[in-house]
Structure 1
Amino acid sequence: MSDDLLMPIHDPQLLARGERVLGPEFRAMSGRVLQVTALTSRLNVLPFDDEAAKAALFAQILGRPLPPRVTIYPPFYTDHGLRLDFAERVFVNQGCTFLDYAGIRLGEGVMVGPKATFITVGHPVDPGERRHFLTGAPIDVAENVWIGAGATILPGVHIGRDAVVAAGAVVADDVPARSLVTGPKGTVRRRW
């Protein structure tokens, strides 16, 4: 990706507060993306029962060992890894993607179905600004939540305790505790 396509991100904590960010750290961020992509590529071709090698690669990807009783079935994808926070007893099924630069937290006992996607960063809607910086906000998933297969969780979303996100749902707004979210969210909001 060339430097004129994306301006650098300065401080991931600004993204965590939902602010637009510019700055000279884009090369470091893109370097981390390349490093983690190489690590996940290695992880995703390991024999399924090679627990020691998987644990070692997860420790490199996350910058620390997985918590006790966390289960993640490869293939597994992340663009940063260092801002992924898995509590105990989290289960992540095959083919999930975690774009975690602004931070993703999965509380204790969260279950994630296959091919679910968590996205914490994006680009501005304005076409003139789209290639100049990133925007974003963290995702927080409380305890005992079930995220169905193919669900997409967008930046800044908080999902309350014991909630269920149905398969294929696109979640752009907070989800109250002990509730069920279903269906696509795609709606034309404005035109230009």
Structure 2
Amino acid sequence: MRRKDIFERELAGELISPEDPEYIKIAKRITSAQRLIAELNNSYHSPQKVRDFIARLTGTQIDKTFFLLPPFYTDYGKNIRIGKNVFINHCCEFLDRGGITLEDNVLIGPKVNLITISHPTQPSLRHSTYCAPITVKNNAWIGASASIMPGVTIGENAVVAANSVVTKDVAPNTIVAGIPAEFVKMVEEGDQQQRQMV
């Protein structure tokens, strides 16, 4: 039976040690991503040029409806998947080694953190890492400076209020807020108050 490579093992949530013989493969991808990010962030680029950078970073085709305001930060890039009509505001940080999926019509506010990677609490293993994916479903909105933790799914049409820290899944059509984020109310059509929350 074929042994999984380090990329497959990481995406499967296995503990990855920096002493792993294959870790150099991850390190090379990180270095490549940092070069692209430095180029993206250090001068002006047209919206199409920004899309081109993100396509190179992710290794995927990026829809013409995608819009991102640099600067943008990521440790890795290859595990980001972006749908149609997605907007990412400036100064966002995506740690995507565990996989980040933004479905169609997603809005990401400024300074949002999507974190798919963590460390064990045991001191002897502290430098190792493990990952879990983040999925943001269709038409969800993540407010300014919110942080989404590993393994979280943000449901369709959900709203995450500004400065929230989300540690568990958010149900569709709900608004959550706080640290840790908790249910506030359901999203309702025509509700103008929800717009003031994020």
* TM-score bucket (shorter structure): 0.7 to 0.9
Select the residue among 125, 132, 135 that pairs with 1:137. Answer: 132
CA distance in 2, matches of 1:20, 1:119: 16
Question: Taking structure 1 as the reference length, what is the TM-score of the superposition?
Answer: 0.85
Select the residue among 68, 71, 74 that pairs with 1:75. Answer: 71
Match of 2:192 in 1: none
CA contact (8 A) 1:157 1:171 kept: yes
1:115-137 per-residue CA deviation (whole Å, 9 max, x = no partner) reads 00011111111112101x21111
Aligned-pair distance for 1:35?
1.4
Match of 2:52 in 1: 56
The reply to whether residue 66 of structure 1 matches residue 62 of structure 2 is yes
1:4-49 per-residue CA deviation (whole Å, 9 max, x = no partner) reads xxxxxx533333333323432211211211111111111012215x
Match of 1:172 in 2: 167
CA distance in 1, matches of 2:139, 2:48: 27
Helix, strand or coil for the counterpart of 1:128? Answer: helix
Helix, strand or coil for the counterpart of 1:80? Answer: coil
Select the residue among 17, 22, 31 that pairs with 2:12. Answer: 17
Helix, strand or coil for the counterpart of 1:21? Answer: coil
Name the structure, 1 or 2, with higher relative contact order (CA <8 Å, separation 6+). 1
Select the residue among 33, 36, 40 that pairs with 1:39. Answer: 36
1:69-103 per-residue CA deviation (whole Å, 9 max, x = no partner) reads 01111001111111100000110000001111110
CA contact (8 A) 1:144 1:161 kept: yes
Q: Is the alpha carbon distance of 1:177 and 1:52 closer, same or farther for their aligned partners in structure 2, counting shifts above 3 Å?
A: closer
CA contact (8 A) 1:18 1:156 kept: no
Match of 1:155 in 2: 150
Aligned-pair distance for 1:182?
0.5
Residue type at the aligned position of 2:6: D
Match of 1:189 in 2: none
Aligned-pair distance for 1:66?
1.5
CA distance in 1, matches of 2:147, 2:8: 23
Number of aligned residue pairs: give it: 176
Q: Is the alpha carbon distance of 1:113 and 1:161 closer, same or farther for their aligned partners in structure 2, counting shifts above 3 Å?
A: same
Unaligned 5+ runs, structure 1: 1-9, 187-192
Select the residue among 24, 30, 34 that pairs with 2:27. Answer: 30
Supply the RMSD in Å over aligned alpha carbons: 1.9
CA distance in 1, matches of 2:103, 2:49: 25
Q: Is the alpha carbon distance of 1:157 and 1:13 closer, same or farther for their aligned partners in structure 2, counting shifts above 3 Å?
A: farther
CA contact (8 A) 1:113 1:148 kept: yes
CA contact (8 A) 1:90 1:110 kept: yes
Identity value in percent: 37
Helix, strand or coil for the counterpart of 1:98? Answer: strand
CA contact (8 A) 2:10 2:130 kept: yes
Q: Is the alpha carbon distance of 1:91 and 1:51 closer, same or farther for their aligned partners in structure 2, counting shifts above 3 Å?
A: closer
Question: Taking structure 2 as the reference length, what is the TM-score of the superposition?
Answer: 0.82
Q: Is the alpha carbon distance of 1:96 and 1:151 closer, same or farther for their aligned partners in structure 2, counting shifts above 3 Å?
A: same
